[in-house]
Amino acid sequence: MTANALVEQFRNNGFAVARRHVDPDLLSALEHEARELISRFADGYRSDDFWCYEGPGRPLPILYRIHNLEKQGMPRIRELFSGGVLEGLASRFLGRLGRSTVCAMVVKTNGGAGVPWHRDRADVPQGTALNLSVYLDPSDASNGCFEAVPGSHRLLDDADVELARQRGPRVLVSANPGDVLIHDVRLVHGSGDNTGGVERRSIITEFAVVASGGSA
The answer to whether residue 120 forms part of the interface with Ni ion (CB under 5 A) is yes
The answer to whether residue 193 forms part of the interface with Ni ion (CB under 5 A) is no
Amino acid at 27: L
Find the angle CA(96)-CA(99)-CA(100) to the nearest 5 degrees: 140
**Binding span for Ni ion by CB under 5 A among 4-12, 89-97, 112-120, 151-159:** 112-120
Following CA atoms 212, 10, 121, 143 in sequence, which dihedral angle do they give, to the nearest 10 degrees?
-140
**Binding span for Ni ion by CB under 5 A among 9-17, 67-75, 84-92, 120-128:** 120-128
Integer Cα distance of 136 and 27 in angstroms: 7
Integer Cα distance of 175 and 93 in angstroms: 19
**Binding span for Ni ion by CB under 5 A among 58-66, 119-127, 136-144, 166-174:** 119-127
Q: What does DSSP say about strands 15-18 and 129-135: parallel, antiparallel, or unpaired?
A: unpaired
Between 49 and 120, name the residue whose CB sits nearer to Ni ion. Answer: 120
What minimum distance in Å lies between the beta carbon of 205 and Ni ion? Answer: 13
Between 65 and 78, name the residue whose CB sits nearer to Ni ion. Answer: 65
What minimum distance in Å lies between the beta carbon of 161 and Ni ion? Answer: 11
Between 28 and 174, name the residue whose CB sits nearer to Ni ion. Answer: 174
In Å, what is the CA distance from 150 to each residue of 28, 118, 140, 216? 31, 14, 18, 39
What minimum distance in Å lies between the beta carbon of 186 and Ni ion? Answer: 11
Between 120 and 140, name the residue whose CB sits nearer to Ni ion. Answer: 120
What minimum distance in Å lies between the beta carbon of 107 and Ni ion? Answer: 14
What minimum distance in Å lies between the beta carbon of 131 and Ni ion? Answer: 7
**55 and 119 Cβ atoms separated by less than 8 Å:** no
Integer Cα distance of 7 and 128 in angstroms: 14
Name the residues that contact Ni ion, by CB under 5 A: 120
